[in-house]
Structure 1
Amino acid sequence: MHVRRAVEIGDIAQVEIARPANLAQLEEIWGALVHEVATVQAISTAAVEARSDESRVALLKLLEAETAEVVALVEEVGREFPTPVSHAS
């Protein structure tokens, strides 16, 4: 449709942009991933600054658990939003 006058703009049907149903899920995973990465960063900083070996070991165990959460979130993204494999010619 061609618009010749500004008043004709109102006559153009507006189409709502389609959002994939799983976009909300991706946004949720992204938020969780950002949180986990920030937590990993905070724990690693605390481990470096720990005053005792006992504290450092406890923080490293916590860091290991948080890292496993990051891996699980990345794997979930891979399952929910697989990337097509391209074949080089």
Structure 2
Amino acid sequence: MLIRIVKMSFQPEKVDEFLSNFEANKTKIRAFDGCNFLELYRVQNNTNIFFTYSYWTSEADLNTYRHSDLFKGVWSKTKPLFNAKPEAWSVEKVASLE
């Protein structure tokens, strides 16, 4: 399993536009083959910074998504809203406590 974390910082006046786009596409992203989990987080004291957190069956599945029409459509609407370059990490879970 691969976990993908993406940090995105938006122009404050563009946050609602981002949230609307995410809302319209989150179910499609989650239903994409190989995506097993999807969450969106917002920084408490800097409300224009968000993180997506997703689980993928494999790196190949993530890459298939990243080259899909779905991703291209979502990203084409998201990218112009940034006020800083997004950052992304693919990580492996080392420990989990509940």
The higher radius of gyration belongs to 1
Higher helix share: 1
TM-score scaled by structure 2?
0.32
TM-score scaled by structure 1?
0.34
Higher strand share: 2
